[in-house]
Amino acid sequence: MAIIEQSQGEDQPYGAFAPRRGLSRIIAWTRCASDSFLGRKLAYALRRLGLRSLAGRPVDIEALGAKMRLYPDGNVCEKRVLFTPQYFDPLERGLLAERLRDGFRFVDIGANIGAYSLFVAAKAGPSARILAVEPQPEVFARLAFNIAQNPFGTVKAVACALADKPGELTLFIDPTNRGESSVRILRSSAGSTIRVPAMTLLSLVQNEGYDRLDAIKLDVEGAEDLILEPFLRDAPQSLWPGFIIIEDSRQRWQSDLAALLKQSGYSLLAQTRLNLVYERKA
């Protein structure tokens, strides 16, 4: 198992880092900004002011229907969720929300601090089962903390990487954006490396006793094919998810994952700046 490192302040109770009055106003303004060119420009300018005022401190706040402690310095995901959650994959989250049902089964691969997992948990109800998979020890500690602040009881955090075989992998850490860390070599030479445990997606869901998957999200910075290709090869079709959100890393994939998904009966439902959304009809 990975060693879990605590981020600054995780020994403090939720609320210890509530935003001060000036920051609260900035957050309120950025969250109300429109999706127009001018709206985004204003939101990003205000966000820069907010980040400067924080000087690296975390913030305890509600976002996407859940309580979270967010560390926006050095993690683009946390920065987006804190200041502009309305810009955080709105189409993808909307399509996912439309497909929620009783007993929803969701696997969040590359869960980061839990934005997708907690969003689903807040909407899916008490019968849902959600796995939030995150290999980075420091980020996993933030994920576990955020899960613990909410009453859902449907999210389980898993501290490992997913890959094509079990064992141990080298994880390349991007110091400027934790969300871009990957088991594939980073473009930046400034990062560090750690060793993390790994397992296959099929082993994970079988170990958890899942008999189906309703949806998965994969955001692992170019290693999505390393996870999904062996799963579609080895897993029974009864376990294939009906809905997939996958980071668009086609230039980094070592196989034609898009073609494999099409051959497996998936249709491209939507394409955004960052992601591809697939669906497979039963």
Provide mean pLDDT across the span 82-103.
Answer: 97
Question: In whole angstroms, what is the distance from residue 104 CA to residue 246 CA?
Answer: 19
Q: State residue 174's pLDDT score.
A: 74
Q: State residue 193's pLDDT score.
A: 85
Per-residue model confidence as pLDDT tens digits over 21-60: 999 999 999 999 999 999 999 999 999 999 999 988 999 9
Residue 2 has pLDDT above 50, yes or no: no
Which two structure tokens, joined as six digits, stand for 218?
Answer: 């994969």
Q: 100-104, 221-225, 241-245: lowest mean pLDDT where?
A: 221-225
Residue 70 has pLDDT above 80, yes or no: yes
Q: State residue 180's pLDDT score.
A: 61
Per-residue model confidence as pLDDT tens digits over 119-130: 999 999 999 999
Distances (CA, A) of 130 to 36, 138, 248: 34, 21, 23
Residue 173 has pLDDT above 70, yes or no: yes
Which two structure tokens, joined as six digits, stand for 240?
Answer: 């294939």
Q: Which amino acid is at 237?
A: Q
Classify strands 161-162 and 167-173 as parallel, antiparallel or unpaired.
unpaired
Provide mean pLDDT across the span 114-142.
Answer: 96
Q: Which residues pair with 67 in a beta bridge?
A: 62
Q: Which amino acid is at 187?
A: R
Residue 189 has pLDDT above 60, yes or no: no
Set out the domains of the chain in order of their start, with CATH numbers. Answer: 21-81 (no CATH), 90-279 (3.40.50.150)
Provide mean pLDDT across the span 61-69.
Answer: 97
Provide mean pLDDT across the span 4-30.
Answer: 83
Could you tell me where the beta strands, DSSP code E, fall in 148-274?
155-158, 161-162, 167-173, 192-199, 215-218, 243-247, 267-271
Provide mean pLDDT across the span 61-78.
Answer: 95
Per-residue model confidence as pLDDT tens digits over 201-214: 999 999 999 999 99
Which two structure tokens, joined as six digits, stand for 220?
Answer: 């692992």
Residue tagged 């999200």 (tokens): 217
Provide mean pLDDT across the span 97-113.
Answer: 97
Question: In whole angstroms, what is the distance from residue 282 CA to residue 267 CA?
Answer: 12
Q: Which residues pair with 271 in a beta bridge?
A: 276
* Cβ–Cβ < 8 Å for 59, 20: no
- Could you tell me the pLDDT band of residue 221, with boundaries at 50, 70 and 90? confident
Report the number of secondary-structure helices (H) and strands (E) in the chain.
9, 12
**Contacting residues for 137 by C-beta, under 8 A, at least 6 apart:** 2, 3, 4, 5, 159, 194, 196
Q: State residue 1's pLDDT score.
A: 35
**Contacting residues for 24 by C-beta, under 8 A, at least 6 apart:** none
* Cβ–Cβ < 8 Å for 165, 201: no
- Could you tell me the pLDDT band of residue 9, with boundaries at 50, 70 and 90? low
